Amino acid sequence: MLAAPDSRQGVANGIIVELIVSNESFWGVDLQVNKAIVELQNLERALKCEDIDLDLVREYRNAVDHICTTTETFQRLRKRHFPESDDSELLCVLATERIRRAINLCL
């Protein structure tokens, strides 16, 4: 336990608990994905602070955008409750993203 109610000024009413050993399966896939995206964004900010070619940073940004789009689509597919639901729209988003990425690479 990190803090109890009224133990420090500014601490909200309630008990704050820290899990000493991280258990990724406890939190589920969605949290792991969100955590990975935040880490990628932190890495991008660190790259921008370095003396790195802007084209390389732009390529990194495009790759992160691709990962985010794919991840969002994957999460939406996972949340579908009915096996007979039409996933063609979501799969179309993935295909469109692949085509956009291929065009950018060719350019």
Q: Which of 45, 89, 87, 90 is nearest to 64 (CA)?
A: 45
CA distance 23 to 102: 37
Q: Look at residue 11 and tell me if it is in a domain.
A: no
In a domain, 94, yes or no: yes
**pLDDT per position as a tens digit, 1-14:** 455 555 566 656 66
Domain of residue 61, residue span: 28-106
Each residue's pLDDT tens digit, 26-82? 667 777 778 888 888 888 888 888 878 888 888 888 888 888 888 888 777 777 755
DSSP state of 13: S
> What is the reported pLDDT for 57?
82
Statement: the pTM of the whole predicted model exceeds 0.95: no
Helix axes 88-106 and 54-78, enclosed angle (nearest 10): 170
**Residue 3 domain-assigned?**
no
In this prediction, residue 1 carries a pLDDT of 46
